[in-house]
Amino acid sequence: MPDIKVTPLGAGQDVGRSCILVSIGGKNIMLDCGMHMGYNDDRRFPDFSYITQNGRLTEFLDCVIISHFHLDHCGALPYMSEMVGYDGPIYMTHPTKAICPILLEDFRKITVDKKGETNFFTSQMIKDCMKKVVPLNLHQTIQVDEELEIKAYYAGHVLGAAMFQIKVGLESVVYTGDYNMTPDRHLGAAWIDKCRPDILISESTYATTIRDSKRCRERDFLKKVHETVERGGKVLIPVFALGRAQELCILLETFWERMNLKAPIYFSTGLTEKANHYYKLFITWTNQKIRKTFVQRNMFEFKHIKAFDRSYADNPGPMVVFATPGMLHAGQSLQIFKKWAGNEKNMVIMPGYCVQGTVGHKILNGQKKLEMEGRATLDVKLQVEYMSFSAHADAKGIMQLIRMAEPRNMLLVHGEAKKMEFLKDKIEQEFSISCYMPANGETTTVVTNPSVPVDISLNLLKREMALGGPLPDAKRPRTMHGTLIMKDNSLRLVSPEQALKELGLSEHQLRFTCRVQLHDPHSDTDTLGRIYTHLKSVLKSYSIQHVPDGTVIVESIVIKVTSSAEEPNLKVILLSWSYQDEELGSFLSTLLKKGLPS
Amino acid sequence: MDSECLALLPAVCLVLADPKQSPPDDTSLEKLLDWFKELHSQSNGQVLLQHQPCLLEFISSVCTSKTTDHAILAFTLKLTGLLAATTQGFHLLEEGGLLVSVFEREAWCVCDHWEDASVRSGWLQGLLNMLKHQQALDFIRGNGLIKVILQLQNDRSLFVACLANQLLVHILNFLTSSNMTNGSDAVGSSELSLRPDWVSVSSEIMNAVVEALSSEDHPQVLQGLRLLSLVLSQCGEPIRSTLWKDVLVPLEVLVNRGSESLMKTLITVLQAAVRTPLLSQSEYKVEVLLEAMLGDGNRKEHFQCAALILKLEKCPEVLKRKAMNIILLPLQCVSTQPQAEKEIIVVLKEQLSQKASCISLLMQSLSSLAELAHTKYLFEDISIHSVTSSVVLLLRMCSGHCPSSLLHINAFTHLIGCCKVQRCGLDTLGALSVYEENVDLRKDIFGVLLDCLQSPDSHATVMKKTFQAIKRWIVECLPFPDLLQFISHDLFPVLEKRLCDLRWEVRDSTLEFITQLTAALNGYSGFTEALHNSGMVSVLLSSLADAEGYVRASAVAAVGEAVTVSFHIVNNNNLLEEALVQMMSVLSQDTEGFPRRAVVKVFTSWLRGSHPITALDSSLSSVLSLGGNDFDWEVKMHTLELAEMLMEKTLTCCPYAIQNFGSSEETHFTQALSRLKAYGLFDLLLNSLFDCDRPVCEKACGLLVKLRTLTAETADLNHSAFVLNVCGNRWENEVQRRCLKKQPAKASVCVTNLVSKSDEETDCDLHCSRNISLYKILQILDLDDMQRMLTLSSDHVVNSPRSLMEDILSAAQQSEENIVDCY
């Protein structure tokens, strides 16, 4: 039986880097190629030696698919393609291809600066890697080769995020990447066809959470910012260049407009232009509201949000600053934090994950005294808030996607084991399908039983109808007999005569023979006569002939009697029949084995 | 630092052992283990265990708790192994029976912990950590753990299975390490001279390998082969030859069965065997096995095997030739009439008629050929001309051209526009440039390469490979006069067309190629003239305004190189002026970092060359000022590198001497400093010293120290001539603060003002130190201390173990759980 194998090298029962290997119909595909930002050595990248020991990934992999631009999904790509060595195709959507190198470059710049960093890719490698990327559009079916095709669906989450359907022949897998089933300020909700894949590989970050409404979180965020600004404090929001930052900007811009607030909002220099450039370029990937209003006014051209200059940090009075990087581990955001940390009127809002060792991680853990460079201690008096704006599907959303795609099997990745366990039970209960949750390095094998579509010849259908059969009905499957022709990549069921004609073959008759021994003291002719009489009495509705040449014929069944000279009482009855009369032939042989009536 | 950490350790142990606490961040435990490893390598486990009883308590409490998290369990297993790696540590752990309770497999089964791959993996890693002394091996043997390890060799988790193999090899290695045996490393030193109780260990493992290889279960065979190849490559004698003898029979069966799915692993085994002295001894049959795997060369697996044999570094020549004949067949079949048995050709043609196998066979053929070329393999039976011509023909087929004599070959239709074969073919063609005799074919070769470039349908990756191949061939053909003709008449027009390609990847690769070509042909005046006369230079200049940042950066580099090779041309001024104007606009206005970085790098490379700086004089101060104020720290770093080059060029009389200025040199030095001041170099360095990015500060500090040394060494320098205005600069506060420290009399007034930033402050500043001499600034700033701090700084992500422990502790105190988020 054909099967599909799924092996996570990352994201198996964890929310680390995603890297999942799928073997389907003889093809090997890598889904995402993420990096773990928490390490500063080789442990940050997936160990590709598990795929192939000689490092020749190009020979092993048919393609790599990247779901979106976050580094835990694409951060190891230049390492894999340029340092380990992979020359094959890499697929991602157009926005992902445009934005991915910016984030890779951002992270490279932070990383190369660190001491003790080894084995990290260069700018040139990022570019060379990007040159291998084949961009694709939503709902566009891409033929990777003769057998393998892929198709992207909208996933929400971040600009350009996509879910991918991977199809080889009749087997298929859908990989969701990260997705969001509820639209947000700038992106729409994920959507997929009822494509009934053999396996749906879904992220499960919020496997057990039914998240409080987005509106609530937004209100909370605005309230906190507003309160701080009202009491004359400064608000620092450390962000990465692209993604959540834009959503928060739209939120604040609208709020400032509505409340007629005067406190300035700043964004790290250079980033707004770059980010907005991409949001404008890929406006079709944003949600309907933004697309509609874009004609009148570009949502990303902000009235209240201005470019930040480092000297502004010392300005008196309230202000809100979006600064990079997002984990408070370097550059501008850290510098501003140091300046503002000592004042309890100020506030820092962390909207995302922070790696251990970063200032962001420390203050989220409640540390109030930070040892900075040179052993000087920094007192953290400002308020620290964590607001998750991460756009993932919650438990309800995941169930909704299953309903949409109707998979035959489910496989959970990108989540915590305990939470996955809970969701797995729920899925198996509600949908009666198997749900798997392999750990990293473990292979899940799903046996597929593909239904093979076959064309039926019109003649065969007409003949079936002529025999009084009902009209074909999709809801009432029934058996039809014919000859299956596999030719030119198609399967057709035709009548045997047509098959012979088409294939230029002549018909051969296949006959079954059987010998039955019985003791009968009469002559051979008499024995045959007794058989004839016996059969006449048993098979009343059949035409039975006693032919003068010494045979009895029932339909296609021929019966002869012989005996040997040494033992004339032992008769050997020879039965022969064609395969159409297999049932009757078997019946007669059994009947005669019981002997003749005396 | 370690003593502070050790003080925190008991609290950390308590937190980790507390089953009510959720385990810390997934990387924290790994980093904590790293620290233990480091400690362990510095001292010994006994000291740590003796002084830190909390560790024993921690291990014991984790073992007895049934509810501990899997991550903590795995950590404990690894840690215990690490602590037991010294005999003293081992005994301490063994005394209370702790070691047995940690590694006893049954204990873990009770609560289904064993079901978790991380626990199994931790268990193996723990044993691996521990296996550093004889007692450890006795412990493993005595507790029957070899059996468990062998079971884990077939674990459902790749990671666990792999680790189990590593551990088994480590055990075998340990058995044969010099202090354990009397064995020699000579092949066939037949008997293991081990302690009798250890013989059972080695035979248990070796029997398991034999059993696995004889098994009908495919995954088991695969794992057996993996272990075998590890033993061959990592173990010494007599284990190696003893095992090889044992497995030879099942191995021969596997080889002769020729299963496709085992092919690669079998080759890995043989590859490992080839590297050992086993190869030279006929009774070990390594060569026979390799030959058997090659078969008659008409099945897909045979091609795979031939391709792999060609990659073996040490391989009998006869075998290599046989493999080469097999591997070249598909290429010959498609392009010429091969010399091979008819039966083989029939089977091969059948395979070539199917697209997938056709592509795969040709790619194997091509890439093997490229590998042979990399080692400059001497082809004896076949002429290199005919091989190269075949590759050229194949590439023509990919572009849709096929000689009528070959039209009947089905493969042709599969090849049209096939990127995979094209890329591979181009790599091979480039590699074939190492054979000098191929230069005769240059017309054909350049022809087909030009075809690839000309076709608008060529994939971007194909274009890139084409450029790489062209560059290799141009460098090989350099002395030929017809080369320039080819470049200016054929190549340049196509390049200009490609510079207008819709795809940025193609435009960028074209520019990168032009840059490399220009650099490679620097000194060939004919080329430089062609560059100017063909109009290529103006196309390059227009590429500076490309829509894509990557392309603009490559254009900057290309223009930079064009200017470099044109410095000696009299009418170069126009190009330089035009280039300078456009580059300054890129540096000041470009929204992306790459082009700005490229501009500064180009200036540095111009300065590095032997060209007069005067031509760049007008732009240098702007570059320093713009680059120094860039918001990309790497642009700032490159600007400091430019400043360093400028200092070197300006301050040195000759390129090799910076110090010891005599009286005439003093004048020179004073002039040089004046020029540097005019460029704004001092402002740049001082501003950068207080940048928000550490590498920038560090670099600037280094340059200032250098400058300070120079000024101090020049005793009669007129310091008052080099006065800098402090006001409005980033470094104002620091300089003022330090200045005031040294002028206690005025301090009281000024300090107040500096803090309050009142209006009087300006007066104070004006009064006390508005203008300070460079010399004084360099003396006031404690540059040595700053440099020390910057070098010591643990950087943005604090990697110290103390910080890690504090993080673990503070995370435990945090009552409100932050929802796990991902970036």
Q: What is the pLDDT of residues A12-26, one digit of tens each?
A: 988 879 999 999 998
> Closest by alpha carbon to A445, among A22, A126, A144, A114?
A22
Burial class for B173, CB neighbours closer than 10 Å (0-12, 13-18, 19+): middle
Residue of B nearest to A240 (CA): B823
Q: What is the DSSP letter of A10?
A: E
Location of structure tokens 């990293």: A440
Distance from CA of A98 to the nearest CA of B (A): 10
**Three-state SS at A27:** strand
Location of structure tokens 């181009």: B426
- Mind telling me the catalytic residues of A? 203
pLDDT at A444 over 70: yes
The DSSP-derived string for B252-318 is HHHHHHT-HHHHHHHHHHHHHHHTSGGGG-GGG-HHHHHHHHHTTS-SHHHHHHHHHHHH-SS--HH
pLDDT the model gives residue A531: 93
User: Dihedral of CA B319/B323/B328/B329: which sign?
Assistant: positive
Rg of the Cα atoms in chain B: 35
pLDDT the model gives residue B657: 41
Q: Which two tokens stand for residue B72?
A: 């903590």
Contact (CB<8Å) A356/B117: no
Location of structure tokens 């009548």: A495
- Residue A39 Cα to chain centre, angstroms: 28
pLDDT the model gives residue B718: 66
- What is the total count of domains within chain B? 1
Location of structure tokens 């018909």: A507
Give the pLDDT mean for A358-369.
88
B-facing residues of A in 497-536 (CB < 8 A) are none
> Closest by alpha carbon to A44, among A67, A15, A16?
A16
pTM: 0.83
Strand ranges for B747-808 from DSSP E: 771-773
Give the pLDDT mean for A428-435.
95
> Closest by alpha carbon to B358, among B418, B296, B297, B423?
B418
pLDDT the model gives residue B668: 76
Asked if residue B351 is part of any domain, the answer here is no
Asked if residue B483 is part of any domain, the answer here is no
Contact (CB<8Å) A113/B633: yes
**Rounded Cα–Cα distance for residues A266 and A312 (Å):** 9
Q: What is the pLDDT of residues A35-83, one digit of tens each?
A: 988 887 888 899 998 887 666 788 889 999 999 999 899 999 999 999 9
Beta-sheet strand order (sheet of A490-494): A455-456, A490-494, A483-487
Asked if residue B219 is part of any domain, the answer here is no
Q: By the CB < 8 Å criterion, does B591 face chain A?
A: yes
Asked if residue B293 is part of any domain, the answer here is no
**Rounded Cα–Cα distance for residues A535 and A518 (Å):** 16
**Rounded Cα–Cα distance for residues B457 and B363 (Å):** 21
> Closest by alpha carbon to B83, among B98, B72, B61?
B98
A-facing residues of B in 486-525 (CB < 8 A) are 505, 508-509
Residue of B nearest to A445 (CA): B156
A-facing residues of B in 525-564 (CB < 8 A) are 550
Contact (CB<8Å) A362/B807: yes
Q: Which residues contact B409 (CB under 8 A, 6 or more apart)?
A: B333, B334, B349, B352
pLDDT the model gives residue B337: 64
**Rounded Cα–Cα distance for residues A160 and A94 (Å):** 7
The boundaries of the domain holding residue B762 are 612-791
> Closest by alpha carbon to B248, among B269, B263, B219, B233?
B269
Q: By the CB < 8 Å criterion, does B64 face chain A?
A: no
Asked if residue B647 is part of any domain, the answer here is yes
Is ipTM > 0.90 here?
no
State which residues of chain B have pLDDT below 70. 1, 44-46, 107-111, 178-194, 297-298, 337-344, 405-409, 570-573, 611-613, 653-666, 715-721, 728-730, 740-770, 792-798, 814-823
Contact (CB<8Å) B810/A362: yes
pLDDT the model gives residue B756: 37
Contact (CB<8Å) A178/B811: no
Mutate: best of B797, B808, B819, partner A, most A CBs <10 A: B797
Q: Which two tokens stand for residue B67?
A: 């509810």
Region at A489 (left for phi over 0; alpha for psi -120 to 50; beta for the rest) = left
Contact (CB<8Å) A366/B810: yes
Beta bridge pairs of residue A319:
A234
Distance from CA of B268 to the nearest CA of A (A): 9
> Closest by alpha carbon to B30, among A8, A51, A36?
A36
Provide long-range contacts, Cβ within 8 A and 24+ apart, for B774-779.
B774/B673, B774/B677, B774/B682, B774/B707, B774/B711, B774/B719, B774/B722, B774/B723, B774/B724, B775/B711, B775/B717, B775/B719, B775/B722, B776/B719, B777/B686, B777/B724, B777/B735, B778/B704, B778/B707, B778/B708, B778/B711, B779/B708
pLDDT at A384 over 50: yes
3-state helix, strand, coil in chain A (%, to 5): 35, 25, 40
| Other CB atoms within 10 Å distance of the CB of residue A521 | 9
Q: What is the pLDDT of residues A415-426, one digit of tens each?
A: 888 889 999 999
Q: Which residues contact B640 (CB under 8 A, 6 or more apart)?
A: B628, B684, B685, B688, B696, B699, B700, B703
Give the pLDDT mean for A235-248.
81
- State the angle between helix axes of B663-679 and B681-689 in degrees (0 to 180), rounded to the nearest 10: 70
Residue of A nearest to B816 (CA): A365
Q: What is the pLDDT of residues A508-541, one digit of tens each?
A: 888 899 999 988 888 889 999 999 999 999 988 8
Q: By the CB < 8 Å criterion, does A416 face chain B?
A: yes
Q: Which two tokens stand for residue A500?
A: 């012979």
Mutate: best of B729, B796, B806, partner A, most A CBs <10 A: B796
CA dist A130 → A135, B509, B513, B548 (Å): 10, 12, 17, 13
Asked if residue B785 is part of any domain, the answer here is yes
pLDDT the model gives residue B381: 74
A476 vs B810 pLDDT, higher one = B810
pLDDT the model gives residue B129: 94
Asked if residue B525 is part of any domain, the answer here is no
**Rounded Cα–Cα distance for residues A236 and A502 (Å):** 77
Contact (CB<8Å) A440/B508: no
Contact (CB<8Å) B464/A131: yes
Asked if residue B634 is part of any domain, the answer here is yes
A-facing residues of B in 114-153 (CB < 8 A) are 116-118
User: Dihedral of CA B259/B260/B261/B262: which sign?
Assistant: positive
Cβ pairs A/B, distance under 8 A: 172
Contact (CB<8Å) B632/A374: no
Q: Which two tokens stand for residue B596?
A: 């700005």
B-facing residues of A in 232-291 (CB < 8 A) are 240, 268-270, 273-274, 277
**Rounded Cα–Cα distance for residues A339 and A362 (Å):** 17
Beta bridge pairs of residue A347:
A235, A383
What does the buried/exposed string (b/e) look like for B177-208 if buried means 16 or more CB atoms within 10 Å of the residue's CB? Answer: eeebbebeeebbbeebebeeebeebbebbbeb
Contact A50, A9 (CB under 8 A): yes
